[in-house]
Amino acid sequence: MKAPVDTRLRWLRARVAFLAFLLLSGGVLVARRAYELQVEHDDTLREMAEDQYLKNVHLSPKRGTIYDRNGAPLAVSVGVESVYANPRVMRRAQVPVDRAARDVAVTLGVDFETMRKRFAQDRAFVWIKRQVTPSEANAVRKLGIKGIELTHEAKRFYPNRELASHVIGMTNIDGKGLEGVERSLDERLTGATHTIPAIRDNRGQIVFSEKLLDDRTALGDDVILTLDKTLQSVTERELELGVRTFEAQAGSVVMIDPSNGEVLALANFPTFNPNDPSHFSAAARRNRAVTDRYEPGSTLKPFTVAAAIDRRTIRSDQAIDCGDGQMQVAEYTIHDTHHWSVLTPAQVLAQSSNIGAAKIGATLGREGLYRALRNFGFGEKTGVLLPGETAGILRHYRRWYEMDAATIAFGQGMSVNTLQLAVATAAIANGGRLLHPVLVKRLNLPDGGTELVDPPETRHRVVGGGTARLVTDMLTAVTSSNGTGSEAAVDGFLVAGKTGTAQKHDYIGGGYADGKWVSSFVGYLPAEKPRLVIAVMIDEPTIAHYGGSVAGPVFRRIAEASLRHLGVAPRHAPDLRRTKLTRSRPATEHAKAAPTTEGPVVTESAPVGVGRTVVPSFEGMTLRAALAAARARGLEPSVDGSGVARAQQPAAGAVVDAGTRVRIRFEPPHDVAGDVHGVDVSGGTAAMASSTGGVAP
């Protein structure tokens, strides 16, 4: 009986030993594997773990704000909600596609068929409607449809609506700059996209990231413009008034500080609201001040005169033979409207003589005139930080015909934009330095620093300081009572400027378009120490077309309001003859001044009935005074000609209904027609009268 027991014990011990061996071997293998995992392959395992609970988040920065020079916000980013759908969630929740599409279409005003197709897709994300209103967002929440959610986005908002819209520009729905500074500085406004680590839960949702708490990791640069919001508003208001008063197609104005080239205002009309650009035409969104080119006409004459004086090809007191109003060039004859025999350079500018300008330009020679105008920046871009700028047209002198050498001297056969004209004029105003136009004062960085991306810069000297002062003195005569720019004069300030009246090209039929004009005025003030350069262009006015009568008043009104805003005091008391009087007899007696207009003076009046008014006498009034007088009586003025009023219909004293159209005919009191370039093709096949005009061979 003892042997079987021993045998069983031996087998039991053997099995225990074998099991112990297996356990020991397993332990050794586990220890070996643990060593491999924890020591030899720890980096690999750590990466695998991080892949499971960490997620790299691409953080798009908040777009920077655009401010005016005084810190007024012009473009900001605001938080809005957008609606999206997860069709897979909708399918798992067995949401009826047709019903959901119908409810969403009614709630958000979107297309039913489009929604139905999107909800039927096998996708995890589709947009329904972006950047919805708060009421729309609340309505979507009330629907309570599984798989339809809201998310937060940033939307660009322009708090001043149309103000400076062509300078600021706009973005698309994704925040990408499309026009204006929004486009030219898009990368700086957007900032860099950051990739940061975040912890996520078992559903893949982000639960924590330290860097998400740091707002500075998600900010673009702020842009501080040189624009002054108040000056911009004044400029836009007066430009619109000018365009509407003369029933023009469009217009543009540029205002520059001539001391440093800073653009204080840049306006176009028509304009647009960047908050809702789809409701405005492409023409309204066009930044005409930099993209549109036109022949400058007589506004170019100061640069011809300045170049000739600076290069000493003429003297400032030299007598220029104007040929009694005729000048032969090859087979063509250039005519001035008045038969001037001899004029000084100052008189050439004041009376806007084309022949005088052509004679002065001839003293420079073709190459000299070409290089002088290039020196003033014509024929090349100014380099302003705005997209779409045109360089204008100034052909190389080797490509000029014989007639071009004469006509280019008075602004015909070349083209400019309004900004170019303002920048070139600033070079005379500041003593001869051609400046780079500055639009951005600085960038404010998220870390509190600043950066200059558009610093003031003198490109080169165009004329000497003495020449600039001489030409400035000459240009003040333009705005005197006997000059073509008298309507641009500002009470209490000396204004230096030049008028221009240019016939437009007919790009279909060739030559120049009959009855289509560009009226312009460019000037600066105070002339003795200029603070502002203002260039005004009115495109296709129909009521009148002379630059002095159309663009001059726009310049004056902008200048008056701007100088008040800047606190620039007049050098003497205002001329009372320009003051609007509510009681004519006491006011004139107090001022010891007699009425300046001709015709009967109404001293008494009787009631004419509700809705009726008495037509005043416009005889002898300037265009500005006549328009003001007509509107003060509730009349609708219709203007023919330019200068001073000589005839009217209905007659003075007539009692008419308020709102009646009154026609007023004006005639020049002096030579303003020289401002319009007149070129007759004597013995040829065509005749033309324009300030930039074309010459038919």
From 88, 204, 63, select the one nearest 149 (Cα to Cα).
88
Pairing of strands 320-321, 496-505: unpaired
Q: What is the DSSP string of 126-156?
A: EEEEEEE-HHHHHHHHHH--TTEEEEEEEEE
> Do 524 and 479 form a contact (C-beta atoms < 8 A)?
no
d(CA 502, CA 522): 14
d(CA 40, CA 31): 13
> Do 173 and 131 form a contact (C-beta atoms < 8 A)?
yes
d(CA 536, CA 250): 11
Verify cis geometry, omega within 30 degrees of 0, for the bond prior to 270.
yes
Q: Report the amino acid identity of residue 360.
A: I
> Do 478 and 487 form a contact (C-beta atoms < 8 A)?
no
Helix and strand numbers, DSSP H then E, in the chain: 21, 30
The number of beta carbons lying within 10 Å of the beta carbon of residue 127 is 12
d(CA 63, CA 183): 12
Active site residue 252: no
In the structure encoding, which two tokens stand for residue 576, read together? 């009372």
Catalytic residue, candidates 82, 233, 252, 298: 298
| Rg (alpha carbons) of the chain, rounded to whole number | 37
Judge residue 489's burial from the number of C-beta atoms within 10 Å of its C-beta, 0-12 exposed, 13-18 middle, 19 or more buried.
buried
Judge residue 71's burial from the number of C-beta atoms within 10 Å of its C-beta, 0-12 exposed, 13-18 middle, 19 or more buried.
exposed
* Max CA separation in the chain (angstroms): 160
| 3-state secondary structure string across 571-601 | CCCCCHHHCCCCCHHHHHHHHCCCCCCCCCC
Q: What region, left, alpha or beta, does residue 492 occupy, with left being phi > 0 and alpha being psi -120 to 50 degrees?
A: left
The number of beta carbons lying within 10 Å of the beta carbon of residue 605 is 7
Tell me the three state secondary structure of residue 77. strand
Tell me the three state secondary structure of residue 469. helix
SS3 content of the chain, % helix, strand, coil (to 5): 40, 25, 35
Pairing of strands 636-641, 661-667: parallel
Q: Which residue is it, tokens 């008298």?
A: 486
Pairing of strands 320-321, 655-657: unpaired
Backbone angles phi, psi at 637, to 5 degrees: -80, 140
Helix (H) or strand (E) run with residue 515 in it: strand 512-525
Tell me the three state secondary structure of residue 600. coil
d(CA 360, CA 230): 41
The three-point CA angle 196-199-202 to 5° equals 140
In the structure encoding, which two tokens stand for residue 64, read together? 């920077």
d(CA 395, CA 256): 27
Q: How far is CA 355 from the centre of its chain?
A: 36
d(CA 695, CA 681): 7
Pairing of strands 263-269, 458-461: unpaired
In the structure encoding, which two tokens stand for residue 310, read together? 């600076």
Catalytic site positions: 298
